[in-house]
């Protein structure tokens, strides 16, 4: 599982709207921080490119954070500002993970790579599947007592080869029946990339519902990513 190109935005608008109900904008104390890097420092420290000379960052003030946390602890109906802190990210994950992720429909939008259109365009290899915690040494008995299957040595390579032969046969003949069987038997570990837009309210629900999940894609990969987001500890991970 990979999570790339994370962008978080609209802290400023969300916190401004947070103060609308009581018109307490005079108490707002958040601000934009701009880090300046002198061109000589930029020349000496070559890890930075020109886009990093001025890098804006939004700082949540003490007053705003206190009110934000009070609203979060009061419940979803009071913390609507969390729905206005937006996030865009590219997630490459197996189909079995997306089945659970798709339960979070409200406030999330995704554009995915197309299995229907692009499955036959590139070779099918082991790297096309989720293998982060792949247990290749598992062995299972077959139909007969003397038939011992190893996932890593026997079954998985044969399965991938069979899928690849279906793909090649479809490209050769253009007969839909080969493509249909390829789609039908494609394992749920197949990796798909989606560009997802969601908000901090979505992420707060996911964090508390999935942090102890038995799928490591949730409890390790996704949760670790959430914990590194701006103000995750103060807003998303805040305990009731």
Nearest by Cα to 87 from 13, 5, 195, 6: 6
pTM metric for this prediction: 0.83
Taking CA atoms, 146 is separated from 112, 140, 141, 151, 157, in Å, by: 44, 11, 8, 16, 20
The domain spans of the chain are: 2-113+190-236, 120-184
H or E, element range at 54:
strand 54-59
CATH number of this structure's domain 2-113+190-236, picked from the four choices 3.40.50.720, 3.30.1050.10, 3.30.1360.170, 3.40.50.1100: 3.30.1360.170
What separation, in Å, do the N-terminal and C-terminal C-alpha atoms of the chain show?
30
Cα angle value 106/111/115 (rounded, 5°):
120
Task: Report DSSP state, residue 188.
Answer: T
How many CB atoms are located within 10 Å of the residue 34 CB? 10
pLDDT tens for the chain, residues 1 to 240: 999 999 999 999 999 999 999 999 999 999 988 665 556 555 554 444 444 444 558 999 999 999 999 999 999 899 999 999 999 999 999 999 999 999 998 889 998 887 766 788 899 999 999 988 888 887 776 654 555 667 777 788 899 999 999 999 999 999 999 999 999 999 999 999 999 999 999 999 999 999 999 999 999 999 999 999 999 999 999 997
């Amino acid at each position: 599982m990979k999570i790339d190109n994370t962008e978080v935005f609209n802290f400023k608008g969300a916190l401004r709207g947070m103060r609308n109900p009581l018109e307490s904008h005079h108490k707002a104390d958040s601000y934009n921080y701009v880090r300046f890097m002198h061109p000589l420092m930029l020349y000496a420290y070559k890890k930075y490119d020109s886009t990093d000379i001025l890098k804006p960052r939004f700082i949540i003030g003490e007053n705003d954070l206190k009110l934000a946390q009070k609203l979060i602890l009061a419940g979803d109906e009071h913390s609507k500002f969390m729905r206005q802190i937006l996030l865009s990210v590219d997630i490459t994950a197996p189909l079995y993970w997306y089945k659970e992720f798709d339960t979070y429909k409200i406030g999330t939008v995704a554009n995915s790579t197309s299995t229907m259109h692009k499955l036959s365009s590139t070779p099918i290899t082991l790297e096309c599947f989720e293998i982060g915690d792949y247990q290749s040494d598992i062995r299972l008995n077959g139909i007969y007592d003397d038939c011992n299957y190893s996932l890593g040595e026997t079954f998985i390579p044969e399965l991938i080869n069979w899928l690849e032969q279906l793909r090649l046969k479809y490209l050769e003949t253009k007969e839909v029946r080969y493509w249909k069987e390829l789609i039908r038997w494609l394992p749920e570990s197949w990796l798909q990339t989606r560009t997802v837009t969601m908000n901090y309210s979505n992420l707060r629900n996911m964090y508390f519902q999935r942090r102890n999940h038995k799928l490591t894609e949730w409890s390790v990969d996704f949760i670790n990513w959430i914990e590194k987001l701006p103000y995750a500890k103060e807003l998303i991970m805040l305990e009731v």
